[in-house]
Amino acid sequence: MMIRNAFLEKWMLIFFPLLAADEPTVLLPVAELRATRVSDAGVQLEWSLPAAMAPYVRQFEVCVVEAATGSGDCYLTAAYSLAWGARDPLLACTAYNVSVSWRSVSLRAAEAAEIRVTTLPQSVTDLAADEVGPTLFTATWSLPAASAACVAVYQVYLCTPEGNCLLAAGDVPQSANSRTFDGLLPCARYVVVVEAQAEDGSLSANASLAVRTATQDPGPVQQLLASQSGEDAVLVTWRAPEQASCVAGYSVCGPGAQRCLEVQGATSAQLAGLQPCSVVNVTVYPAAADGQLFEAASALVDIGVPSSVRNLKVASKTSESVRVQWDEPSQNANCARGYSVCHKETLSETARTCDNVTATECSISGLQSATSYDVSVAALGHDGASLKYSVVRATTD
């Protein structure tokens, strides 16, 4: 539709005759005619004109004609570009002859410039992921019937969400319409990209699909260690499972259903508020992003083991006895149930003799005179075991 502009028409009636009188004898054709963007239904055309011809341009005539049938249409414009197909879409995978000519102010026609443009195949449709497992899935798609005759193969890629393509599947025959990817990580996000390729090598716009592989139990954590870090606290450390792609965090639990910590971004945790002077069972569960817990690993830790007694010394001695004294342990003294006091002749191979006491001193009698003895003292833990002995040497008179 032409929009009338009375002022412009009046100006053209005055000015164009002046330009027409000065028109060059030879009208040069448009230059640099090119298709800057081609799709499956349209083409963006651009061109230029020799500078000497620009003052004499009245309008451009753009014609797009189907090469095989000769059917097409023309359009008049004053611009130096045209998006063809916006109103009447072109056919996919079809060759078109494009010509652009211009008319001068005196309506003389310049020679037309011509190029051939082939539209692209249509993008695949119905892209989907089937049979999604922890380490594989199959991508399937359809091709619009209008492009079936010109598509030779598909180019299929597996990419990360960041756009890094991990695997080029290569050419997939047009008849296949599917591609299976395997050897993938569980619980991982991928993007499948599919392009239809025509026989001339031109590619359709790509179709993409985000896929997340299924969950797989990664197995328990490794190298689980638990150690006392306070009177009622335990420090727990571990290493992630070897296959940790499904692990979003950890649930670290002590005794009782309510004693669990949720840990993310770390492989250690401290459990506090535990029963002092007790053996604690600590359990660590790898956890998925949706909260699903995987196979657990457990460790026992005694949070009441007394340390060694302090300042063990010989307080007095006779020809047949020795009295030793000591101070209570610096750690977990409240968990000590007494002390184990043992002695043996320093140079003897016989087993040592032990007695349990509750005080921080002990007299050992019935010894031989002028004989060296090794005296060992250890605090007894809440379970009655003695683990950390301190030793002092005494010689009777």
Asked if residue 200 lies in contact with residue 118, where contact means CB atoms within 8 angstroms, the answer is yes
* Number of domains making up the chain: 4
Is 129 in the same domain as 111?
no
Report yes or no on 246 lying in a domain: yes
19: pLDDT strictly greater than 70: no
Mean pLDDT of 153-168: 86
CB neighbour list of residue 25: distance below 8 Å, 6 or more residues apart? none
In this prediction, residue 149 has a pLDDT band, given cuts at 50, 70 and 90, of confident
200: pLDDT strictly greater than 90: no
pLDDT of residue 386: 67
Is 16 in the same domain as 110?
yes
Q: How far apart are CA 146 and CA 165, in angstroms?
A: 29
pLDDT of residue 2: 36
Q: How far apart are CA 88 and CA 22, in angstroms?
A: 39
Triad 292, 295, 298: Cα angle to 5° = 120
% residues pLDDT > 90 (the chain): 70
Nearest to 380 by CA among 315, 308, 310, 313: 308
Is 102 in the same domain as 12?
yes
75-85 pLDDT, tens digit per residue, is 999 999 999 99
Is 232 in the same domain as 294?
yes
Per-residue H/E/C for 39-88: CCCCEEEEEECCCCCHHHEEEEEEEEEECCCCCEEEEEECCCEEEECCCC
Note the residue count of the chain. Answer: 397
The CATH number for 383's domain is: 2.60.40.10
Report yes or no on 217 lying in a domain: no
In this prediction, residue 88 has a pLDDT band, given cuts at 50, 70 and 90, of confident
pLDDT of residue 176: 87
Is 144 in the same domain as 202?
yes
Strands 361-365 and 339-345: unpaired
Domain, as residue range, for 269: 222-302
Report yes or no on 263 lying in a domain: yes
pLDDT of residue 133: 96
Q: How far apart are CA 234 and CA 275, in angstroms?
A: 11
104-130 pLDDT, tens digit per residue, is 988 899 999 999 999 999 999 999 999
Mean pLDDT of 337-359: 90
Is 154 in the same domain as 232?
no
Is 26 in the same domain as 47?
yes
pLDDT of residue 276: 87
Report yes or no on 343 lying in a domain: yes
Is 42 in the same domain as 104?
yes
The helix/strand/coil state of 185 is: coil
372-385 pLDDT, tens digit per residue, is 999 999 998 877 77
Mean pLDDT of 234-246: 94
pLDDT averaged over every residue in the chain: 89
pLDDT of residue 86: 83
Is 198 in the same domain as 245?
no
Is 204 in the same domain as 256?
no
Is 193 in the same domain as 247?
no
Report yes or no on 388 lying in a domain: yes
Of 249, 273, 302, the one marking the end of a domain is 302
In this prediction, residue 259 has a pLDDT band, given cuts at 50, 70 and 90, of confident
Report yes or no on 1 lying in a domain: no
Of 212, 239, 273, the one marking the end of a domain is 212
For the entire predicted model, the pTM comes to 0.68
Q: How far apart are CA 159 and CA 184, in angstroms?
A: 12
273-304 pLDDT, tens digit per residue, is 888 888 889 999 999 999 999 999 999 998 88
Asked if residue 205 lies in contact with residue 147, where contact means CB atoms within 8 angstroms, the answer is no
349: pLDDT strictly greater than 90: no
Is 145 in the same domain as 106?
no
Of 302, 329, 355, the one marking the end of a domain is 302
Strands 95-104 and 137-142: unpaired
In this prediction, residue 1 has a pLDDT band, given cuts at 50, 70 and 90, of very low
